[in-house]
Amino acid sequence: MNEGLILALLLSTASAATPLMLAALGELVTERSGVLNLGVEGMMLVGAVAAFATMSQTGSPLLAFGVAMLSGCALSLLFGVLTLHLMTNQVATGLALTLFGVGLAAFVGQPYVGGVVKGVEPLLFGLDPITLLAFVLCGGLWWFLGKSRAGLLLRAVGEKPAVADAIGYPVRRIRYLAVLFGGAMAGLGGAFLSLVNTPMWVEGMTAGRGWIALALVVFATWRPERVLLGAWLFGGMTVLQFHAQALGLAIPSEFLSMLPYLATIAVLVLICRNPRTILLNQPLSLGKTYHPDR
Amino acid sequence: MFQLETRPVPSATMRLLSPLIAALLMLASGFVLFTLLGQPALKAFYVFFVQPLTTLYGVGEWLLKATPLLLCSLGLLIAYRANVWNIGAEGQLVMGAIAGGGVALAFPDVSASWLMPAMLVAGVAGGMAWAALPALLRTRFHTNEILVSLMLVYVAGLGLRFLVNGPWRDPEGFNFPQSRMFHEAAILPLLHPEMRVTVAGVLALMLVGLIWLFLSKSWLGFRLTVAGQAPAAARYAGFGERRNVWIAMLISGGFAGLAGVAEVAGPLGQLQPSVSPGYGFAAIIVAFVGRLNPLGALLASLLMSLLYLGGETAQMELGLPAAITGLFQGLLLFYLLAADLFIHYRVRRSERAPAAVLKEATR
């Protein structure tokens, strides 16, 4: 194999990994605060359509990415109000958010089907700015969650909200911030899909990436540095699928497209096989509603 | 100043009222949405919610779309009662369609009366098999059934696409990715010549009664409900968790599979790359709006079916995007979840600010 091909493979793996990495890192922070948001898929889709619509209206990638993050935030705020203030079941609300997001994105995106926008230019070593940002984010979160005081507080809220509350920390506000961060990152991941990966809008174009991102958080045992590994693994799988035909593998394309989904299941089995792995790493209050009874 | 206060006893009235409140709020949002889209709201309402039901054919379509929603949600409500989160009904529906449709394609010359029952059984088995995977992985390897059942939705969809693009493609179908049309014995009879709804609708209605009996009278139904509402009590009573997961997944998968085969042996009449406009996902909403109760699911499936139908009518008559259906469905579930707050909590209006009360007390 020549170097050019290897470089091309690496670059396409990077751009396939980036949306997964962004969404998974956002969800990781949300889950570390004890909130399980199953609406990642919906937020990504809305981010994708918002970015595409903004880009075709204004032509400004900066604005497009910004609007995508804001719309992801808006959806996660809705989730936050329902689960943190109205104390709804997090699983059901997250599902509702995904179903709503799928509907909303299809509705908003109807006029943009078939439209084309100019893709985002590479910045450094053939990598686009968002991919670089994803790496920085990964390192930053590793530092934030592991080394910083604010990160420790976030983790405390995720483990024992009642204790954090008793000491006087604003549990609800911290959880809101974590949920909003998750929304912004999912929106950005979605925008990456519709502006960089394939500069166009197709209904349901995330194709389950939001759910794969959720699985990645489990795979990473809630550690940001391991999200990098997982996302690259899945990115590689996606690239393999495009290059398999070129490499002369006579496998029907549908079976190759199944790979990321089957791999997600396989990875979940590997990690969850030993229940202690999950028990030791999962935030203690994950998915549980906290109601400060006064 | 308003405060939330835990009710001493969950409100039974609110449990029944909250779906109605949710539906009303959804309609109110529709009013706002139609106005924003520059449509006269009243006319849009008429086109969306009334006009589809003004013809006999329209009523038939309404029942036709309600059937798979009802079938899927009947299974899902059992699973959700047992706290087993099967959200892959869409994939189980597709597998039911593949298995049942496969039987029809395998016996093109058979016109005997055993063919249809064989197809239905195959459909149920296909759905069950697809739901058995998440059950197996959860009970053996502790994987989360939400993620696994959802991943399998995509795998099933791709499997169907492979079949209709490759081995099962109609050789005389001008290269369209679809199977040949099923022969007469492989098609469910219609309820009425002017409507497209099949006997599957009646079957679903009978299953409503059966599930009601199962949940309220049978030991197994009781076990599942206890396991969902009080896991600790269920463990203490010796109700094995593994068996509950298996039963909940198999029942919900079987129902979704039945819905799938009824679609291909009914309105579709063949296997196509897509056999459902998301019935399996919409059925999650039906199960919740129906209060995880079979009779409630019946009513909720009629409402959700009307949303599908209204979306189509609004697209044809007013040029509104059909995707508005998904928006309404999502809103409905959001409003329901929010309204459910008042089952367990009530709003109290504190007459005076706490500080004033304190001042008075210490005077």
Top pLDDT among A123 and B58 is at: B58
Sign of CA dihedral A85, A89, A91, A93: negative
Residue A259: C-alpha distances to residues A189, A242, B154 (Å)? 21, 11, 10
Mean predicted confidence (pLDDT) in B318-331: 82
* Residues contacting B136, CB < 8 A, separation 6+: none
Report how far residue A45's alpha carbon sits from residue A34's, in angstroms, rounded to the nearest whole number.
24
Question: What's the count of helices (H) and strands (E) in chain B, helices before strands?
Answer: 15, 2
Lowest mean pLDDT among A6-15, A146-155, B101-110: A6-15
Residue B54: C-alpha distances to residues A153, A198, B58 (Å)? 60, 44, 7
Min Cα–Cα distance to chain B from A227, Å: 17
Query: How far, in whole angstroms, is CA B170 from its chain's centroid?
Result: 31
In sequence order, which ranges of chain A are alpha helices (DSSP H)?
3-32, 40-58, 61-80, 90-109, 129-147, 149-159, 161-167, 171-192, 209-219, 224-243, 253-272, 275-281
Q: Looking at residue B131, what is its pLDDT? A: 95
Which residue does chain A place closest to B3, by CA atoms? A294
Mean predicted confidence (pLDDT) in A198-208: 84
Say what percent of chain B tops pLDDT 70: 96
Report how far residue B63's alpha carbon sits from residue B48's, in angstroms, rounded to the nearest whole number.
16
Catalogue the E-assigned strands of B47-157.
none
Q: Looking at residue B329, what is its pLDDT? A: 87
State the residue for tokens 């599902």: A95
- Radius of gyration of chain A measured on its C-alpha atoms: 19
The kind and range of the H/E element at B179 are: none
Structural contact between residues A227 and A217, judged by C-beta atoms closer than 8 angstroms: yes
Q: Binning pLDDT at 50, 70 and 90, where does residue B88 land?
A: very high
Report how far residue B300's alpha carbon sits from residue B149's, in angstroms, rounded to the nearest whole number.
24
Residue A91: C-alpha distances to residues A39, A79, A83 (Å)? 9, 11, 10
Residue A123 predicted with pLDDT over 70: no
Report how far residue A59's alpha carbon sits from residue A55's, in angstroms, rounded to the nearest whole number.
5
How many alpha carbons fall within 13 Å on the CB side of residue B42? 0
Hey, is B346 helix, strand or coil?
strand
For B81-114, letters b (16+ CB in 10 Å) and e give bbbbbbbbbbbbbbbbbbbbbbbbbebeeeeeee
Structural contact between residues B285 and A99, judged by C-beta atoms closer than 8 angstroms: yes
Chain segment B150-177, per-residue pLDDT in tens: 999 999 999 999 999 888 888 887 878 8
Please list every residue in chain B whose beta carbon sits closer than 8 Å to the beta carbon of residue A109. Answer: 323
Report how far residue B218's alpha carbon sits from residue A167's, in angstroms, rounded to the nearest whole number.
49
Lowest mean pLDDT among A12-16, A290-294, B231-235: A290-294
Q: Looking at residue B95, what is its pLDDT? A: 96
Chain segment B65-83, per-residue pLDDT in tens: 999 999 999 999 999 998 8
Residue A36 predicted with pLDDT over 70: yes
Please list every residue in chain B whose beta carbon sits closer than 8 Å to the beta carbon of residue A256. Answer: none
- The angle subtended at Cα A186 by Cα A224 and Cα B137, nearest 5°, is 65
Angle of the A61-80 helix axis to the A40-58 helix axis, nearest 10: 150
Report how far residue A196's alpha carbon sits from residue B182's, in angstroms, rounded to the nearest whole number.
44
Say what percent of chain A tops pLDDT 90: 37
Chain segment B189-240, per-residue pLDDT in tens: 888 888 888 888 889 999 999 999 998 888 888 888 888 777 778 777 777 7
Report how far residue B18's alpha carbon sits from residue A16's, in angstroms, rounded to the nearest whole number.
43
State the residue for tokens 């087993």: B84
Using CA atoms of A68, A73, A79, A85 in order, give the dihedral in degrees to the nearest 10: -160
Phi, psi (rounded to 5 degrees) for B180: -70, 160
Say what percent of chain B tops pLDDT 90: 36
Top pLDDT among B186 and A194 is at: A194
Residue B1 predicted with pLDDT over 80: no
**Which residue, among B26, B85, B141, would best test binding to A if mutated, counting the most A CBs under 10 Å from its CB?**
B141
Structural contact between residues B338 and B94, judged by C-beta atoms closer than 8 angstroms: no
Lowest mean pLDDT among A116-130, A198-212, B105-119, B330-344: A116-130
Mean predicted confidence (pLDDT) in B321-346: 84
Residue A232 predicted with pLDDT over 70: yes
Residue B363 predicted with pLDDT over 80: no
Report how far residue B263's alpha carbon sits from residue B127's, in angstroms, rounded to the nearest whole number.
13
Phi, psi (rounded to 5 degrees) for B349: -105, 110
Nearest to B323 among A86, A107, A207 (CB): A107
Chain segment A244-271, per-residue pLDDT in tens: 766 767 788 888 888 889 988 998 898 8
Query: Cβ of A289: how many Cβ atoms within 10 Å?
Result: 15
The kind and range of the H/E element at B6 are: strand B2-6
Min Cα–Cα distance to chain A from B59, Å: 25
Mean predicted confidence (pLDDT) in B92-117: 90
Query: How far, in whole angstroms, is CA B260 from its chain's centroid?
Result: 12
Which residue does chain A place closest to B324, by CA atoms? A107
End-to-end Cα spacing for chain B: 23
Query: How far, in whole angstroms, is CA B156 from its chain's centroid?
Result: 18
Q: Looking at residue B176, what is its pLDDT? A: 83
Report how far residue A104's alpha carbon sits from residue A40's, in angstroms, rounded to the nearest whole number.
14
Task: Please list the residues that pair with B190 across neighbouring strands.
Answer: B198
Report how far residue A95's alpha carbon sits from residue A93's, in angstroms, rounded to the nearest whole number.
5
Please list every residue in chain B whose beta carbon sits closer than 8 Å to the beta carbon of residue A203. Answer: 323
Which residue does chain B place closest to A91, by CA atoms? B85
Report how far residue B126's alpha carbon sits from residue A83's, in angstroms, rounded to the nearest whole number.
36
Residue B129 burial by Cβ neighbours in a 10 Å radius (0-12, 13-18, 19+): middle
Hey, is B349 helix, strand or coil?
strand
Residue B358 predicted with pLDDT over 60: no
Report how far residue B322's alpha carbon sits from residue B312's, in angstroms, rounded to the nearest whole number.
6
Residue B266 predicted with pLDDT over 90: no
Min Cα–Cα distance to chain A from B184, Å: 31
Q: Looking at residue A12, what is its pLDDT? A: 82
Residue type, B90: E
- The mean of the pLDDT values for chain A is 86
State the residue for tokens 């997982």: A230
Q: State the CATH architecture for A3-279.
A: Orthogonal Bundle (1.10)
Residue A122 predicted with pLDDT over 90: no
Using CA atoms of B205, B211, B212, B216 in order, give the dihedral in degrees to the nearest 10: 170
Q: Looking at residue B201, what is its pLDDT? A: 87
The interface residues of chain A toward chain B in range 239-258, judged by CB-CB distance below 8 A, are: 252, 254-255, 257-258
Report how far residue A214's alpha carbon sits from residue A201's, in angstroms, rounded to the nearest whole number.
23
Q: Binning pLDDT at 50, 70 and 90, where does residue B40 land?
A: confident
Nearest to B141 among A96, A255, A273 (CB): A273
Domain range annotation of chain B: 65-298
- What are the residues of chain B with a beta carbon less than 8 Å away from any beta carbon of chain A? 6, 85, 87, 137, 141-144, 146-148, 150-155, 158-159, 161-162, 165-166, 281-282, 284-285, 288, 321, 323-331, 333-334, 337-338, 340-341, 345
A215–B158 C-beta distance less than 8 A: no
Structural contact between residues B265 and B199, judged by C-beta atoms closer than 8 angstroms: no
Mean predicted confidence (pLDDT) in B275-291: 90
Q: Binning pLDDT at 50, 70 and 90, where does residue A89 land?
A: confident
Report how far residue B154's alpha carbon sits from residue B128's, in angstroms, rounded to the nearest whole number.
17
Q: Looking at residue A293, what is its pLDDT? A: 59
Top pLDDT among A82 and A127 is at: A82
Phi, psi (rounded to 5 degrees) for A90: -70, -40
Query: How far, in whole angstroms, is CA A35 from its chain's centroid?
Result: 15
**Which residue, among A99, A253, A259, would best test binding to B if mutated, counting the most B CBs under 10 Å from its CB?**
A99
Hey, is A81 helix, strand or coil?
helix
Residue B355 predicted with pLDDT over 70: no
Q: Looking at residue A124, what is its pLDDT? A: 58
Q: Binning pLDDT at 50, 70 and 90, where does residue B354 land?
A: low
Residue B361 predicted with pLDDT over 60: no
Residue type, A246: A
The kind and range of the H/E element at B348 are: strand B345-349
Six token digits for residue B67: 């059937």
**Residue A19: which of A175, A238, A176 has the closest Cα?**
A238
* Residues contacting B203, CB < 8 A, separation 6+: B258, B262
Six token digits for residue A194: 């519709």
Hey, is B189 helix, strand or coil?
coil
Mean predicted confidence (pLDDT) in A273-281: 82
Inform me whether the C-beta atom of residue A259 falls under 8 Å from chain B C-beta atoms: no
Please list every residue in chain B whose beta carbon sits closer than 8 Å to the beta carbon of residue A208. Answer: 150-151, 153-154
